[in-house]
Chains A and B, each alone.
Chain A
Amino acid sequence: MSTSQYQQLWTRFDTVGLNRYNITTDDLRCIERYIHILQSGLNETVWDEAVQSGGPYGASILIHEIVEIRTLQRAGIDPYRYTQKELARVLADHLSAHVAAIYEEHLYLQDVLLRQYGCYFEVATLVKANRADDTDLNYLLESSIGVFLLEQDRAEEAKAYLEQLRQGGV
């Protein structure tokens, strides 16, 4: 993809979110490369979903990836020099990078839902609603990032709002 195509792509996401996390067109290129290492061989990738969704939901996926990449880089790791297998091991050894990414992704979604629909959900509730299983929720709840409240009885409501956001994306 050329620089101008990345620039065009950049405008399809929620620019408030991208600016808040200083995500540039160069970062888009880095995220695509990172996902390509991690998920080549799969029939679908989170990069494809981010691009298809666009808007705030697509931005939330990009925020997850850039936070993960930057956290690894701050730990002295260059994620682009690894093979898929090696990167899976590196990520397992640096779970905090993934947890930080989950947290920031859903902190951003929390803000978007509040701005767009006037609805406030706890971060853990949004993780529960936004994932098909509880793997990421457990990583978050068991992390040392903080103490999280899970509104179990509001997860379905949050899921409906997130779906609306995903559909209405661009």
Chain B
Amino acid sequence: MTRIRKLQRRGGDGTWHSDAYAVETHNGQITLRYSLAWEYLGGRYNQMIQEQRLSLEQLEQVLAGDSLRWLPVETLEMDDEDAIQSLDRECHVPRPATVLITLKAHIVRGRLQLIAPLASPIRVQGDHIYLGDGRQLQIALASDPMPELQPG
């Protein structure tokens, strides 16, 4: 079960709609999820809610106004992820498609060679790596320190 609370805004045409909501995840943390209409202001309210450790019932303390209204807290019969997925769709909160580019790395004669798959948006040419539009990428490599070897 997941507790949530929808935030509604009154648009210029006078109608109310939800484009943000707060969700209480299993660890008790409240997170505000918001549509892109909020721009970076959504993140600011999210930070305030978390820093002040507000409960779902206390959200009016950071977000209130004549054109804003919090609906009553709802308890949804679904787990966090399903609830978030469903509410993201309803409130137009985008869920980015993850883009994972795996490079193959080889050390050949003491030099690191990276090889990108043909379908990826990056191109490797000689010692340089480019995006499809020609911008050059700089890649820094980092690794965890080697674990200390145990004697014996």
Residues of B close to A88: CB separation below 8 A = 19, 35-37, 91-92
Interface SS, A side: helix
Give B128 Cβ to nearest chain A Cβ, in Å: 14
Taking each of A36, A43, A91, A133, which has the highest tally of chain B beta carbons within 10 Å of its own beta carbon?
A133
Binary flags per residue of B26-62, CB closer than 8 Å to A gives 1, else 0: 0000000011111111111011000000000000000
Beta-carbon contact of B9 and A147 below 8 Å = no
Q: Quick one: CB contact mask for A15-53 with B, threshold 8 Å, 1 for yes?
A: 000000000000000000000111111111110000000
Please determine whether A44 and B41 come into contact, CB atoms closer than 8 angstroms: yes
Please classify how large the interface on chain A is, using the bins under 10, 10 to 19, 20 to 34, 35 or more.
35 or more
Given A41-B67, A95-B94, verify A149-B99 contact (CB < 8 Å): no
Task: Find out whether the CB atom of B140 lies under 8 angstroms from the CB atom of A149.
Answer: yes
- From B72-80, B105-113, B131-139, B144-152, give the one contacting chain A: B131-139
Q: List, in ascending order, chain B residues with CB within 8 A of A39's CB.
A: 37-39, 41
Complex formed: what's the CA distance from A126 to B59 in Å?
Answer: 29
Q: Which residues of B contact A64 (CB under 8 A)?
A: 39
Q: Given A132-B47, A142-B96, A149-B140, do A41 and B42 touch, yes or no (CB 8 Å)? A: no
Chain A min CB distance to B32 (Å): 8
Closest to A40 in B: B12
- Do the beta carbons of A146 and B12 come within 8 Å of each other? no
13 A/B residue pairs, CB under 8 Å, sorted by A: A40-B11, A83-B12, A84-B9, A88-B36, A91-B37, A92-B92, A135-B43, A144-B99, A144-B121, A146-B131, A146-B135, A147-B122, A149-B140
